[in-house]
Amino acid sequence: MQLTDNTIFITGATSGIGRALAEAFHGLGNQVIIAGRRRALLDEVAAANPGMVGIELDIADPRSIAAVADRLVREFPKLNVLINNAGIMPFDDPSKPLDDAVSQAILQTNLLGPIRMTSALIEHLKAQPRATIINNTSVLAYLPLAGNAVYSASKAALHSFTLSQRFMLRETSVSVQEIAPPWVDTDLIRKSGDPRAMPLDAFIAETMQKLAGDAEEIVVDAISAIRDNPGAGEHKLINDFNAAIIANPIPV
């Protein structure tokens, strides 16, 4: 994608990867609009980045999505980049009864949220001379973490949706890219400084560099082997990965 001269809307942008991406694009001179549920956090990020605009959005609420989309089209007619970043990552255990409300919240936020947000803006994006949709999935789309089974499944589903969306938009002005982060040291779970987690600044630097090209998937070098692994051998990789996590749990 072109990294400059854009009007960019980013969901879930008050912390972690979303905020870091927003600030990286803002630093390149783009008009950046950030979204989140909490007004105070939106104001805090916007104050730290003069010119950035914050809009309240509940990505799990279709009515909120529709209202925000209408506002974006009205107030930012040059909007040409949508970054679907908002997500939640509760732990679960599929060997036991799951909390249905939690499972629904994960799917509403991580899967239906991006689908609905894109649907609400797709005709506007197609009318732009050039536009980009970026869906933020996860390495767990390819390597499910058993203790976050529903989260992993939601990201695998969003990856699948992205593949279909990209194909269907192939003859339009809209390109579709996917960012599949590794474990990044943010507060999605709990910022802990765990050495297994990639530092946020290093992740953003490599991701921005790769976004500047025309790669359909943005995968940092550290997890390229995992992305290339699908096939008959993936079962051993997944089992070994989860056994290693159990032996050395993620701090919560």
Q: Which residues share a beta bridge with 133?
A: 82, 176
- Whether 231 and 142 have beta carbons less than 8 Å apart is answered as no
Query: CA dist 185 to 16, 89, 198, 215, 237, Å?
Result: 8, 14, 6, 24, 23
Note if 142 is an active site residue. no
Q: What angle do CA 83, 129, 52 make, to 5 degrees?
A: 40
| Alpha-carbon span 14 to 31, nearest angstrom | 16
- Whether 185 and 177 have beta carbons less than 8 Å apart is answered as no
Nearest-CA neighbor of 32 among 56, 50, 59, 58? Answer: 50
One-letter identity of residue 108: Q
Question: Of the listed 25, 142, 151, 203, which one is catalytic?
Answer: 151
Active site residue ranges: 151
